[in-house]
Structure 1
Amino acid sequence: MATLFLGLNANAARMDMVDVSNNNGYMSAAEYVSMRNEFGVKAVTVKISEGGTYKDPYAASNIANVQAAGLYVNGYHFARYATKAQAIAEADFAGQTAKAAGLPVGAVLATDVESQEANNQSKATNDRNNAAFMKEIQKFGYRADVYTSGSWANNKMTIKGKTGWIAAYPYVVSGKNWYSSNHAWQWSSTAKFRISYGGFDVSQLNSDYYTAGQKSKVKPTNKAAVKANNQKANKNTSKLVASAKWVKETKTYTLKTAVKLHTGASTSSSVITTLPAGTTVKTDQAIIQGGYRWARQPRFNGYGYLATSPASNTLEYVKSGATHTYYTVKYGDSWWTIAQRNGLSMTTLASQNGKSIYTTIYPGQRLVVR
């Protein structure tokens, strides 16, 4: 099926699909039209829900505006399940939420599996849970798939050929079609669009699964712009990833869930121990690399490293200790609006909360602003 998507610039990864959530704020139909006409976007995958209670407040407007722009629309659920029963319950919640938000029957409703809950499970358990979620979600008339990171695919869970949406951000994007046997490859989390604010996750489609099982009928109006913008995005991503470096982060955290402590800043490094929920962790440095945000913990005989979360999603621990001024997130808020309201840059606001500006924030969540 991959041949169906060859075209304008075969030597550069394409921006075939964008995924959006409340972290991107309200997205108008005009923004999606610009993505289609100037960047070659064919499909948008909208966050629907997370765990067993969270409903993305922008899901309905995103779905409606994506459809108004003439793009294919899909959805995803951020998984928190650790058991088969929880997976089925989350699938029922996601399916019901998707129906209420207007996700059309026949769309993909993928399970996004990259949480600490999944990290704590065996490969066999994750496979069982994912299978249960996908079987249940089909009862709502949706097609199923699994999204995860390249380091987890066939390591933390099985991702067979002709399935899967895989995230991996290489140093050099152009010149190689990654995960060509899978449905989609997410190659950047920082793509920029002309009339949209902030960075976006973009993926190249290697099959027609996310375009309703058919060759895409979506056509851009400015092919020259599509070629130039895709090439520019490839270069910008290369520079961003290559320039990742450790930064000072002298903070104290209390773990929300059990987290593995590694010997290095890599999921393939050896595990020193598993720190239980409630453990206090003091860090001195942090870095975003390999799709994860890592924090370094000084120890009596060296350092330990914690993968706090995939860099674009909620961190698995929260700040504690010193007295601060907090702001409670409301519906419609974004990193930008909260930062502006409190005289901060988005980067500073996110950093002092132990997050990145691509971390999803939720209504009711408290953020340190002073």
Structure 2
Amino acid sequence: MQSRSSGNMKGIDVSHWDGEINYNTVKDQGIKVVYIKATQGETSVDTYFKSNAVKAKEAGLLVGFYHFLNPSTEESAKKQAAHFVETIKPYHCDCRLALDMEVNKGLSASTITNLSKIFLEEVKRLSGLDVVIYSYTSFIKENLQKSLNVYPLWVAHYGVNTPGSNGVWDSWVGFQYSEKGHVRGIGTECDLNEFTQGILLPIKKEPVKQPTITPVPAHKPQSDKQNHVTYTVKKGDTLDKIATKYNTTITNLVKLNNIKNPNLIFVGQVIKIK
């Protein structure tokens, strides 16, 4: 596992336990990323979720959301995923959607691993966004299996500069290194994190809209208000050819267009034809 680095982004994660937060003050201290608890279980929404989501974005922070999974059945994992995605849908998200997996409710490691997979894949399917799994080093060792390492890890391990080996992942995109941080703008001790660029969702670029151009054939006659059509002279044209093409006479063309010399027309000249 890699160690902390000054090149990483500073971050925090918050929930109702942190109360009202002054995000402008938080940002002024170099914090760039804030993960916000959104939901837990099949129906619960964090009481400060909406306020945190709006105020953190208004302050210009990179925002992510997480769901605390209550593990039970596969059906419940899918319902919890749907609840999470539906809750966060109205709010802008910059970071991978996170699964907070830290309780086993007496279930086996294979069951916890399977429920985590089901939740993550359902979130991806419903939201179209990338995901990340959050857990503690000690919990991972006891409850999660290697098949989960296809998803990036946000790991919690306190009091160390480098997270310990967990047997599943060998790198991280997020590292929660303290739960007793002090950040101005937050009235309680809070979780401190470092994040790599891998925690961010890819920026979607809007396709450039090309102007719609309706081509007009270069020599197609067009009607005017006087019941005339017009023809643009091209190379090799003569009045005789034009008159023959439109079933008229050279004399009519000369009169209608005030042509002084019927033997002298030029490319690009617009000829009226009755």
- TM > 0.5 between the two? yes
Alignment of 1:155-170 (within 5 A): 155-158=142-145, 159-160=148-149, 163-170=152-159
C-alpha distance in 1, partners of 2:79/2:151? 26
C-alpha distance in 2, partners of 1:134/1:161? 11
The partner residue of 1:129 within 91, 115, 120 is 115
Count of matched residue pairs? 194
C-alpha distance in 2, partners of 1:152/1:99? 30
- Does residue 32 (structure 1) correspond to residue 19 (structure 2)? The answer is no
CA contact (8 A) 1:161 1:182 kept: no
Deviation at 1:185, TM superposition (A): 1.2
- Does residue 109 (structure 1) correspond to residue 97 (structure 2)? The answer is yes
CA distance 1:103–1:78, change in 2 (3 Å): farther
C-alpha distance in 1, partners of 2:119/2:92? 17
Alignment of 1:242-253 (within 5 A): none
Deviation at 1:72, TM superposition (A): 0.8
Structure 2: gaps of 5 or more residues = 165-169, 204-274
Deviation at 1:121, TM superposition (A): 1.3
C-alpha distance in 2, partners of 1:148/1:54? 20
Runs of 4+ residues over 4 Å off in structure 1: none
Structure-2 residue corresponding to 1:20: 14
Structure-1 residue corresponding to 2:35: 45
**Under a length normalisation based on structure 1, what TM-score does the superposition of the two structures give?**
0.48
Deviation at 1:56, TM superposition (A): 1.2
Quick one: which amino acid aligns to residue 150 of structure 1? T
CA contact (8 A) 1:162 1:181 kept: no
C-alpha distance in 1, partners of 2:127/2:69? 17
- Does residue 146 (structure 1) correspond to residue 133 (structure 2)? The answer is yes
Q: Give the root-mean-square deviation of aligned CA atoms.
A: 2.5
Q: Deviations over 1:308-336 (max 9, x none)?
A: xxxxxxxxxxxxxxxxxxxxxxxxxxxxx
Q: Deviations over 1:238-264 (max 9, x none)?
A: xxxxxxxxxxxxxxxxxxxxxxxxxxx
C-alpha distance in 2, partners of 1:22/1:196? 12
CA contact (8 A) 1:112 1:146 kept: yes
C-alpha distance in 2, partners of 1:177/1:162? 20
Deviation at 1:20, TM superposition (A): 0.8
Q: Does the residue aligned with 1:186 lie in a helix, a strand or coil? A: strand
Quick one: which amino acid aligns to residue 108 of structure 1? R
Alignment of 1:206-221 (within 5 A): 207-213=196-202
C-alpha distance in 2, partners of 1:15/1:190? 18
CA distance 1:162–1:84, change in 2 (3 Å): closer
Q: Does the residue aligned with 1:148 lie in a helix, a strand or coil? A: strand
C-alpha distance in 2, partners of 1:33/1:210? 22
C-alpha distance in 1, partners of 2:9/2:26? 9
C-alpha distance in 2, partners of 1:195/1:36? 9
Structure-1 residue corresponding to 2:248: none
Deviation at 1:54, TM superposition (A): 0.7
Deviation at 1:161, TM superposition (A): 7.4
CA distance 1:17–1:161, change in 2 (3 Å): farther
C-alpha distance in 1, partners of 2:185/2:23? 9
Quick one: which amino acid aligns to residue 97 of structure 2? L
Q: Deviations over 1:11-66 (max 9, x none)?
A: xxx77111111111122xxx22322222x211100000110111112212211111
Deviation at 1:103, TM superposition (A): 4.1
C-alpha distance in 2, partners of 1:141/1:103? 14
Alignment of 1:169-208 (within 5 A): 169-170=158-159, 173=160, 176-178=161-163, 181-205=171-195, 207-208=196-197
C-alpha distance in 1, partners of 2:37/2:185? 21
CA distance 1:162–1:45, change in 2 (3 Å): same
Q: Does the residue aligned with 1:195 lie in a helix, a strand or coil? A: coil
CA distance 1:211–1:34, change in 2 (3 Å): farther
C-alpha distance in 1, partners of 2:136/2:202? 23
CA contact (8 A) 1:77 1:112 kept: yes
Larger Rg over CA atoms: 2
Bigger share in strand: 1
C-alpha distance in 1, partners of 2:153/2:141? 11
